[in-house]
Amino acid sequence: MNIHTTTIARKPIDEAGERELLIHSLRTAVARSRLVTNTLETIGVSLRHKQVTAQEAMNWLFEEGLLNEVQIPLPRAPEAK
């Protein structure tokens, strides 16, 4: 008997195991994304309510590894006439 041809409920063991692994990985990714969302919202609310300065918010983003997730537009140089 070959383990790759053995079936559980008419599905190969490998496929069932891969499906469960993928489901678990997706649940983990969803939890991580919610954590990131909550962290970004917390920093934004803290900044809005003047609990932290802009520099402190930037440092907080950096410490959380989220600075690259925030797209901050750079000021434009004045146009030459």
Q: What is the pLDDT of residues 4-63, one digit of tens each?
A: 555 555 555 578 789 999 999 999 999 999 999 999 999 999 999 999 999 999 999 999
Greater confidence, 81 or 17?
A: 17
Phi and psi torsions of 39, nearest 5°? -65, -45
Could you tell me the pTM of the whole model?
A: 0.69
* Best CA proximity match to 67, nearest among 75, 55, 78, 77: 55
Q: Give the separation between CA 25 and CA 31, rounded to whole angstroms.
A: 10
pLDDT at 16: 77
pLDDT at 24: 96
